[in-house]
Structure 1
Amino acid sequence: MTRRPMSKKILLGMIILFAALSARANDSLNVRSVGSWPFYRCLSVALDTTTAQKLAIMGTGGGLFIADITAPLRPNKIGEINLNGSYSYIIKTRDHYAYCLSDSLGLLIVDYSNPYSPVLAGHCAYKEGKNQALAISGNYAFICINYYGIKIIDITDPTKPVDKNYYPCNDFNIDILIKDSLAYFATYEFKVLNISDPENPVQIWNDDTQSGQFAISDTFLYLGSGSIYTYNISEPANPVKGGSGGTAYFGFSIYDTLIFGGGTGFNEGFYINSLSDPNSPVTIGQCSTNYFRGLAAYNGYAYVADDSKGLKVVDISDPAHPVIVGHCPTPRNEDNGILYQNNYIYLPAMEGGLRMIDVSDPSSPIETGCSFYPNRENQALAVVVRDTIAYVSDRSNGLRVINITDKANPAEICSLSLKGYTYAMADKDTLLFIALWPEFFSGDSSSIRVINIADPKNPSDIGHVCLPRDAMDITIKDNSMFVSTFNTTLSTIDISDPANPVITYSNDTLGLGWNQSLKDTILYLANDNKGLSIINVADPINPVKISSVPPFSRTTGVFVDSGFAYMVDDTLGLKVVNITDPSNPIVTGYYLFDYDPIYAVIFFPYVDVTAKNNNIFITHPANILQALEYYGPEAGVSSDNIDNEKRPLIFLLKDAYPNPARSRATISYQLPAKSTVSLNVYNVAGQLVQSTDMGAQQPGYYNIPFKTDKLSSGVYFYKLTAGSNSRTRKLVILK
């Protein structure tokens, strides 16, 4: 068979596809990450009950929460520490130190002697694989790492941990537990190691018939692997296998004569097993929490790491009938509509309630207070703040009115029940407009409810208008309200008579509209797979789309500030758009999220954005709140007078944007020192096709326009030389 040569069109198409896929790995143009508030899902918990103030240390997403559990029915978060966005699945505590394992950063040691302000005391970096378990004995931490073995770290001085050695085991390693001078190690088999010399473990026994997670009580070792298997360790170096029974798959722990273990599925929670006969565990109870991750028990209560539901407190005084009695919620990112006002981010965080985060220093956001319903499920979705009052849309719980004069101790004033699910909100004068979605299968219509809030202690429902579909967002200008709805509609509603709002315009051709931002007479609509739609609403009953900006994938959030529109796409990234001329928007910056794009395809998490004075805050699936800064030339950050804090540390040439390009592209680079700069462009044959001498330039960030109108379609390489530094990048031109 004769092989036909690949056509130039197919080759160019493959190059363009490769460039598009490669763009996912590019970090940014004129936008940098400055900080985050990465706390969400409670993945682990450890207790410190050695002092009068009882504490729960919670692994919450990318850091730790410290909760006061002195009053078990009212667990109260009192401190937090950001561990660089690093997940902490496994935590052990000893002597006011929390030892945390991170797959990306290694062993992190946190000093919580002041639980209101914990600090990172020590760090031992490693990246050998996925951490599975941690045991602490004497002056050593033993870390079970999957397909690696046991890492042994000297923690004599917790501020200076030292990596000493490792015990190799290239298997699926599961758990490690230490008693006296022996380590019980679970891989595909069950091993006993002598650690009399902690830095040189020696295997002295093994059983290749069973493996799982461990727990020890007196002279019995229990191994959880669906059922609970017992081993008599009266002779510690020679375990004798006994009976089995009960139920436990993971998250193994013992309290008195009870042994706990997680189930296998969502809402299955954990099982409680009796060890009245230590050789024959028996399941006697079950507690159906959300998504059990592990627990620690003390004084008749189990403190459960319950994933997106936070920390649950369960009364186990009657183990056959456990009862959830307390709750310390963690934030959750799902349709969150954030508000940035007076150096605070107000974050309605679903089950986490309303979180108030001080962002006066964007590099170090810190929560000052939280308001949530303690005894029922929170569903905070949107917030409006007027002076010292916050109005929270709490889905099926209706409207919550909260006094936030003291942000450390917000106090609910009242609530207003509404039939349906509250969603987006907007305010005008003494009125609050709330998007109301109908309850499932109720047959009711979607609507906008009009609430009189002249007296915040006594809000009253005074009017409504029915909508053809569920409202996603609301903005107001004068007596016109603009509503983007789920599926296909942008509507204008006349609210000159608030008791009787009237729909005066409806467009069913725009496609799905998420949220909006209104500047003067121009409406900016996050238009899903159509990107950013820019609409002139000078005549509210005849809006006209005047331009658009394409998305990375699906645009869900937009915010306008100081001549820029900030648009965000699901989990993919941010674009900064110069809207000085709304009819001709120009993308002047972008930031690609460091997150798995497959997550967006499967779960499509909603991402929102707010900004002021080039400070940008984004709700993000991995970092509940991510702080960015736009530093493009139009943003007022001078390249020839940049301060030391913003001075680049390295020479960097970034990919041109857009790439592929048609008539023009922007080339961005950064200089750490004053340099003489030149730009040369070559074709695929290595021939110089364009050369530009840009002279001496000061340290800073640069963006230069690159016209491609005189170049034909194809692949080019541009080389930037700055003093002794040079870099080359590829640019595809498509006409």
Structure 2
Amino acid sequence: MRRLSVMYVFIGLYSACTPGSTRADSIDYGEYLHRLGAVDTPEIANGVAASGTYAYVADGASGLQVVDFTDPLHPQIVGYTDTPGEAWGVVISGAYAYVADLYMGLQVVEITDPLNPQIVGSADTPGDSYGVAVSGTHAYVTDWNCGLQVIDITDPEDPQIVGCVSTPADANDVAILGSHAYIADFGSGLQVVDITDPEHPLIVGCEDAPLDAYGVAISGAYAYIADVYSGLYVIEITDPENPQCVAHLSMPSWVFGVAVSGDYLYIADQSAGLQVVSVADPENPQIVGGVDTPGDSYGVCVSGNHAFIADGAFGLHVIDSTNPESPQPIGAVDLSGDGLDVAISGEYAAIVTGYAGFQVIDISSPQTPQVIGAAPMPGDAYGVAVSGPYAYVAEWGEGLQVIDMSIPETPQIIGSENMPDLAYAVALSGAYAFVADHYAGLQIIDIANPLDPQSVGGADTPGEAYDVVVCGSIAYVADGSCGLQVIEITDPLHPQIIGGADTPGEARGVALYGDYVCIADRDSGLIVIQVADPQNPQIVGGVKTPGDANGVVISGTHAYVAEWGSGLYVIDISDPQNPRITGSAGSPAYGFSAAVSGENVYLGIYGGFQILPAQVEPSAVDDFEGLGGLDGLMNKMPLHFIPNPSSQSTVIRFSTHGRGNVQVGVYDAAGRRVRDLYRGALGAGFHNLTWDGHDDSGGETAAGVYFVRVTTAERSVTGRHTRIR
């Protein structure tokens, strides 16, 4: 048996008030698939198409909504046209948007002026139009129980139905490849229609494996089917008259839409948002990324480096897909209960799992964490903190339990103290444990003798105490419906509430960042409160997460939010008044708690425990004479390279805070400019430039270290990139 160190670690002022650090092996979540911005639409966003810097949303009873995403962090509705029916599907071709308008058939909308779209033509169909595709001079409309309708759009102002073919079930979506239309026929799978003669379309093949087919996309020799209840089906269509199912992949929930770009599929998953599937090997599809959204994802499209999700009642979401993959867990382990709270002690994680009690996980090998010990508890274990060989567990109905885990394989309860109500969380400072005790507020326990903990004081809070953090003489309590409560604990026997700030949601988690407190505020996401004056805390910022924010921990300049949907959200709080989502874990998970130690994030989730890489912290580039000493330049506009190092091209990603002139140059290690990459005006937001590894004369640069400098009127920032062969 390995024995835990018996060194006592009392959590004092510095450790309680100062976030931890991450190591060089951390990653930048911003270099992976992540959400940029969103805009609410008036009704239900069912479908989306994009062209240029505009996205066109089929928004149900509100018709076609035009969204400008020039600044993808802040997309804006800039135009609309109300269609006579309910807009469900949309496709762009040239100067027109073609809208499948449910019971009003096909609507043709001129979008020459995106700010003033105008319906210029229409063709009523006999059924309900859900999907539309355009090829040449014809639009192909899936008309539910009336099959496929073929419409001549030679004159967009006078579209005419020229052909049709019934399908066995309900035609919902369509994609065109060459002389064939591929129909997602809800109830009868994939139907292949020969459209060589558009006036006489003919079903020539079918594959009913994806029975409840709802969405379809085509690439090369394969059709990709979104089957509502069964997930993704891959159909080989080399012989259109004999399509064959070659692969199936289950998805997190119901799936409705699918788009393809390169080797990746982008799938609208109702409850899990955007899911990205690698089809580099079409017969072995793999989920490689995901971004949760707050609503029901129905439609998806991809344009350039952006993916767009039509998210039902929550409008349009813009997602950076420059790198379509998400950070993956380093390691994981299933638990008999849920990972409600986690604390790290050296090579071990102490985790509480509700009814399943207290467990010890060996994390010495992050790739293969192992549960090595457990202690049954008298009640449901909800919170945990560790000091030395002892774990202090907050238990529902059973108060505070002290566990000796000096032998991690056989942890033992050695002391306990009852609480007035339901203990949710515990924090340690000096010789005291501070317990968030739900309706009984904050309870203080003397733990100088761990075998005989004694309650010494308490302060009832107006709400429901869920979490607590201590810094010096102040305890900060996440008080549920009453937000943040600030409690003076100079005299532990007589703690006093001295301030508070209500939050818009339900305060469930709390963490400190200098003069600020970060609150995990359930459906309101992360709320930032300034506490420089503890008696007068003020909300100064916040950012919404798609799912419920349950817990929060801070390391460096980032908050890690345990979230009910993606599991983990990483939020940049370097500017506390303007927190920004950096990225998220990609796999659907229900996060309860998080801890950061070294280069890793330890996440307690529904039914398990995950280890993820931590977010790399910004740092100045090393000084070198050629560029006049660049360390110390502002890093508020960080540079990212995808990939880095690279042997061919790399995408340079940076952000600007306002519109203005920008210069981007590439320099060698001696400070000589080798490539004038960009000079011109850019708007606010994220930007991507590609460097192909060539100099200004078109010659290929040698392997080695290069520096890219981005200069605006306000600031300059430099990043290091390595070229390899």
Q: Aligning the two structures, in what range does the TM-score lie when normalised by the shorter sequence?
A: 0.3 to 0.5
